Amino acid sequence: MTTSSTPSAREPGAEVQIQFEGHRYAGVRGQTVAGILLANGVRAWRTTSAGERPRGAFCGIGVCFDCLVTVDGHRDVRACLRRPEGGELVTRQHDLLPCRQGKDADNDC
C-alpha cells in the first residue's frame, strides 16, 4: 500500500475552497459544489432560459439538471455531483433559448 506525499490534502474532512462570483467559499473534502455553496448561504447559481428565474439544488442527485454551473471553463457541470479538489472557479450558467423561426415565432432572430 502506498501513501500520499500530501495526505492532508486528500483526506476526507480536509478543507477545500472554491471561488464563486468573486468570493471564496470553504467546505470539506467530499462535499459537492452545491453542498459548499448551500452551506455558505448561496441558494441559487443558475438562471432559467425562459424568465431568468434563479435555480440551485432541486433534486440533489443529478437527475433534474437545475444545478448546472461552469467549473474552470467546463460547462454543464452538475453542482450536486461535482466534488471539488480545491481552488476551482465556479461560475453561473445561463443559456438563452434557441431562436425560433417560422410562422409560430414570437421573437426576433
pLDDT tens string for the chain (109 positions)?
444 444 445 666 799 999 999 999 999 999 999 999 999 999 999 988 888 899 999 999 999 999 999 999 999 999 999 999 999 999 998 887 777 665 555 555 5
Place of cell 467530499: 30
Q: Provide the whole-model pTM.
A: 0.77
Q: State the sign of the Cα–Cα–Cα–Cα dihedral 10, 20, 94, 56.
A: positive
Asked whether the beta carbons of 86 and 30 are under 8 A apart, the reply is no
Residues 6+ apart with CB under 8 A from 109: 99, 100, 101
d(CA 44, CA 25): 14
